[in-house]
Structure 1
Amino acid sequence: MKITILEGYAVNPGDLSYSPLEAFGSVKIYPRTPQNLVAEYIADSDAILVNKTIITREILLKCPNLKYIGVQATGYNVIDIEACRERGITVTNVPAYSTSAVAQLVFAFISEFACHTMLHSDSVMAGDWCRSKDFCYWKKPLTELDGKTLGIFGYGNIGSRVAKIAEAYGMKCIVTTRTPRPGINNVDFDTLLSESDFITLHAPLTPKTEGIINSASLAKMKKTACLINTARGPLVVEKDVRKALDDGTISFYAADVVSKEPMTDDNSLLGAPNCIITPHIAWAATETRSRLMNVVIQNLRSFIEGKPQNVVS
């Protein structure tokens, strides 16, 4: 079996190992793959592993031997699933591997908004405390999370984990989800927007959710609200978020994802006030990537043994 990995560096920059795959056949690893070279790189492959590389119908037509695509992520919208079904190609993903890590980053963002930790640390390191006439000072208002309302848009594994953490802080959680269920405070989207002190997005990207955070929805939020996006960049209309930050419609935006990644220098959010953006790191903890790789390897092993798991095609 010829196995080709198209984005080896993203998952494994050198601290993990793809060597267990060698038990299944020959392995070719490309650290990064330009989109125009995808078909060339995988032309004679039996199995490929991808992360964000787009696999279109046209590319599949140039790969007569391809039988398996292992997505090294939970989301698989980069794959033409219908074309894979037509050609009998098995596609697998890795569900739920990053639940804890993403929820952790959500609360890193929330805590930064509430405490402005880096702002005050930078101030101290610049000598401001040494010059202070008082034993303490603060440069922005601080916020206590106890009693605040957290709106969760999307209530899968990550959304539910975020809710558990929020409860430990004494926060009230309200939820908007496609499948309301007992035991959670289900509300409609407009209520989520108007009542939440913090809103965190955890919905998949679909035609219905794309651009759901826009000028109209932002206008329904509290002016003191904090918006967090660790799900998919296109859930928000970035130019509308920038305007909302500029004119004070909302107080804060934090994101680990943007509409086009890597971020482009014409992105509306570059230089935005009261905004934190991290470079899609929520999944990148060593433990998280190790868990991902273990499942990726097991997915391929199971396929070879005729018992495929985590199939999405």
Structure 2
Amino acid sequence: MKIVVADPIFLTEAYRRRLDHLGEVDVYDTYPADDAGFRDRIRDAEVVVVGRYGMRADAFAAAPHLRMVAVWQTGYDHVDLEAATRAGVVVSNVPAYAFEAVAEFVFAYALALLRRVHVADARLRGGGFDWREYCGRQLMGMTIGVIGTGDIGTRVVQIAHGFGMRVLSTTAHPSPERARRLGLEFVDLKTLLAESDILTLHVPLTPSTERMIGARELALMKPGAILINTSRGRVIDEGALVEALAARRLAGAGLDVFEHEPLPQESPLRQLDNVLLSPHIAFLTEESMDECTFTTIQNIEHFAAGRPENVVNPGVLERGAAPRLQQP
């Protein structure tokens, strides 16, 4: 079968050999210049591997032989699942990886913002060396609000306990047993916002979570709090966040994800000195990359054997879209 790795992913020689065993493989290590270029790359593919580049409806229409899209990450909001299902294309993702990487990154951001490391670095490079400018705050004794206690959120909770922090979370179905097991307090969102020194988001992008943190929620946050987002950019109303940061109602923010990626050059976030920005890299460690690629290739191997796994559009299976593909 024809497999196309359509944009950059972590792919060692060992993993490349596993793909070669399945059929003819084309690997692109650059992003396409535009959607037309992307469609050209996948035109003859039966299996497409995508990282960050999206698969819109027109991409499915341009690939008549396509049977599977293997998403090289957990999130798949950049793939048109309705178009995939209509076309009889199985879409699989990597549902469980990078827990440690993302959770640790949250605290890298928190510590850097609280101790003003980025400010100290910039001023020292400019010739300054006055220690009195950098009095920060410590994590011990602070309250962290964790929205989303799945695998990543749960690991954040565990690390927070190591720093001696109080942990709050919110859920539609609070469980006293789960609260005891995780060592946190389930509270309503208003209480969480009002009492958290650090707010960190770990929810998928869905209609119910899109812009769940807007102007109203930001106004309820504790003055001087820090917001960290490593989930999806559109979980926050970015315009409202810019206003809160510019007005110094929040002490700072650590943003690894944005409403529009790449972050536009004209974004006002680039001008704020109380924001740390990174290009969607919270997941990016050697260990997590290996884990992600392992599962992605395993998804393709299982699909080729007629046993698709980690399918995010299961309705397509009812249409018989999981044939056993011929292997060399």
Structure 2: which amino acid aligns with 1:11?
F
Per-residue deviation at 1:178? 4.6
Per-residue deviation at 1:269? 0.8
- What is the correspondence of 1:110-129 to structure 2 with a 5 Å cutoff? 110-121=110-121, 123=123, 128-129=128-129
Q: 2:136 aligns with which of 124, 127, 142?
A: 142
Structure 1: which amino acid aligns with 2:143?
T
- Rounded to whole Å, the distance in 1 between the matches of 2:187 and 2:35 is 42
Per-residue deviation at 1:208? 2.0
**Contact 2:15–2:294 (CA under 8 A) maintained in structure 1:** no
Number of paired residues?
305
**Contact 2:147–2:170 (CA under 8 A) maintained in structure 1:** yes
Q: Are residues 59 and 127 of structure 1, via their aligned partners in 2, closer, same or farther at CA, if it must alter by over 3 Å? A: closer
Per-residue deviation at 1:127? 5.7
1:297 maps to 297
1:155 maps to 149
Q: Which moved more, 1:253-262 or 1:182-191?
A: 182-191
Deviations 1:159-192 (A, max 9, x none): 1110000011111111123553432221221111
Identical residues among aligned pairs (%): 33
1:264 maps to 264
3-state SS of paired residue (2:269): coil
Greater share of residues in helix:
2
- What is the correspondence of 1:1-313 to structure 2 with a 5 Å cutoff? 1-7=1-7, 9-12=8-11, 18-31=16-29, 32-33=31-32, 34-121=34-121, 123=123, 128-129=128-129, 137-181=131-175, 182-184=177-179, 185-313=185-313
Deviations 1:17-40 (A, max 9, x none): 533210100001122223222322
- Rounded to whole Å, the distance in 2 between the matches of 1:86 and 1:247 is 47
**Contact 1:229–1:255 (CA under 8 A) maintained in structure 2:** yes
Unaligned ranges ≥5, structure 2: 180-184, 314-328
3-state SS of paired residue (1:183): helix
**Contact 2:15–2:297 (CA under 8 A) maintained in structure 1:** no
> TM-score, normalised on structure 1?
0.91
Structure 2: which amino acid aligns with 1:94?
V
3-state SS of paired residue (2:38): helix
> TM-score, normalised on structure 2?
0.87
Per-residue deviation at 1:10? 4.3
Per-residue deviation at 1:260? 1.0
Query: Taking CA–CA contacts closer than 8 Å with sequence separation of 6 or more, which of the two structures ends up with the larger relative contact order?
Result: 2
Per-residue deviation at 1:41? 1.8
Tell me the C-alpha RMSD between the 2 structures.
2.0
- Rounded to whole Å, the distance in 1 between the matches of 2:117 and 2:110 is 11
